[in-house]
C-alpha cells in the first residue's frame, strides 16, 4: 500500500525567506501523480502544484517549485520569497496513474503547518 | 462562480441520529468525493463518484452512504451518528478524477455528542 510521510509537523520562517517542506512516499508504481495542496486558516483546500512522475522536469508555479527525486521517492516543496498569505497547512498527496488502476484515490500526508512571521 | 458548495457549515448531532451533508458543484465535473479530516492526520477518502449513477467506496466508508443521481449533487448520509464520526468533512470535485486539480468546498464541522 502506498504511504505519504511529511516529517515536519510545523515550521516557521520570516517573511521573504525561502522555506522547503519535505514529503516522502512509498510506492512500487512507476507512473503516478504527486500534489501539494494548501489549506489556509479559512479551511478551504487549494491546489498549489502538481507533478506527473514520468516528467523529469520539476513543476513550478510562480514562487512555488518542487524538487522531485523519483529514485529517492522524495517530493519537497520550495516556497521562495515567502509571504504572510502563505501561512497555512500544506499537504502532500499521491495517486497512482489513472490508466493503470481505476481506483481513483488520493493518499494524503498528515500535513505541515507553516507559519510566516512578519 | 459558486464552485463547490457544502451545507451546513456546522452541525451538532446526538449519537444515533442521522443526517445528510449536502454537496453541489456547478462546474459540470464528473468526479466528486467526500473526505474527512481529523487532527494530525491527512484527509481520508470516504466515498467517491466518477459520474452520475456511479459511486464507490474509499478508505473509510463504514457508517456513510452516498448517491449520485445528478452530475451536480453528491450528498453524504450518516446513517446512525457515532462520536467517532466527529470530524471536518470536505467535498471535492474535478473534471475527470483526482489526478486533475480538485476544487474543494469550505467544509462541514460535525460534532457527535
Chain B neighbors of A46, CB-CB under 8 A: 104
Residue whose C-alpha is closest to residue A73's, from A98, A90, A99, A53: A53
- Look up residue B111 and give its three cell numbers: 460534532
Chain A neighbors of B106, CB-CB under 8 A: 42-44
Please tell me the distance from the alpha carbon of residue B73 to that of residue A37, in angstroms, as a whole number: 24
Please tell me the distance from the alpha carbon of residue B49 to that of residue B80, in angstroms, as a whole number: 22
| Beta pairing class for B87-94 and A74-79 | unpaired
In chain A, which residues have pLDDT < 70?
A: 98-103
HEC states along A44-73?
CCEEEEEEECCCCCCCEECCEEEEEECCCC
Query: Minimal Cα distance from A9: which residue of B?
Result: B40
Contact B107 A43 (CB under 8 A): yes
CB of A41 within 8 Å of a chain B CB? The answer is no
Q: What is the pLDDT of residue B41?
A: 81
Q: What is the pLDDT of residue A82?
A: 97
Please tell me the distance from the alpha carbon of residue B68 to that of residue B70, in angstroms, as a whole number: 6
Contact B45 A109 (CB under 8 A): no
pLDDT in tens, chain B (113 residues): 679 999 999 999 999 999 999 999 999 999 999 999 998 888 999 999 999 999 999 989 999 999 999 999 999 999 999 999 999 999 999 998 888 889 999 999 999 99
Cα Rg, chain A, nearest whole Å = 14
Please tell me the distance from the alpha carbon of residue A64 to that of residue A86, in angstroms, as a whole number: 10
Residue whose C-alpha is closest to residue A115's, from A7, A36, A40, A35: A40
Q: What is the pLDDT of residue A98?
A: 66
Query: Minimal Cα distance from A49: which residue of B?
Result: B101
Residue whose C-alpha is closest to residue A111's, from B10, B19, B32, B35: B35
Q: Which of helix, strand or coil describes residue B108?
A: strand
- Look up residue A101 and give its three cell numbers: 488502476
- Look up residue B104 and give its three cell numbers: 474543494
Amino acid at each position: 500500500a502506498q504511504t505519504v510521510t511529511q516529517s515536519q509537523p510545523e515550521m516557521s520562517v520570516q517573511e521573504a525567506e525561502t522555506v522547503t517542506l519535505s514529503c516522502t512516499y512509498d510506492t512500487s508504481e512507476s507512473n503516478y501523480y504527486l500534489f501539494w495542496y494548501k489549506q489556509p486558516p479559512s479551511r478551504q483546500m487549494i491546489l498549489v502544484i502538481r507533478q506527473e512522475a514520468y516528467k523529469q522536469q520539476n513543476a513550478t508555479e510562480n514562487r512555488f517549485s518542487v524538487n522531485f527525486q523519483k529514485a529517492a521517492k522524495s517530493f519537497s516543496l520550495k516556497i521562495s520569497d515567502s509571504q504572510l498569505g502563505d501561512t497555512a497547512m500544506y499537504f502532500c498527496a499521491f495517486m497512482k496513474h489513472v490508466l493503470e488502476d481505476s481506483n481513483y484515490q488520493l493518499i494524503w500526508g498528515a500535513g505541515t503547518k507553516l507559519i510566516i512571521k512578519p | 462562480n459558486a464552485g463547490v458548495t457544502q451545507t451546513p457549515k456546522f452541525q451538532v448531532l446526538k449519537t444515533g441520529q442521522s443526517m445528510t451533508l449536502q454537496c453541489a458543484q456547478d462546474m459540470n465535473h464528473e468526479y466528486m468525493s467526500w473526505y474527512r479530516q481529523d487532527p494530525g492526520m491527512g484527509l481520508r477518502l470516504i466515498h467517491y463518484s466518477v459520474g452520475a449513477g456511479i459511486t464507490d467506496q474509499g478508505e473509510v466508508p463504514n457508517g456513510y452512504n452516498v448517491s449520485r443521481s445528478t452530475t451536480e449533487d453528491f450528498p453524504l448520509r450518516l446513517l446512525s451518528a457515532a462520536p467517532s464520526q466527529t470530524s471536518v468533512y470536505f467535498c471535492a470535485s474535478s473534471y475527470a478524477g483526482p489526478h486533475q486539480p480538485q476544487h474543494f468546498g469550505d467544509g462541514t464541522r460535525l460534532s457527535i455528542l
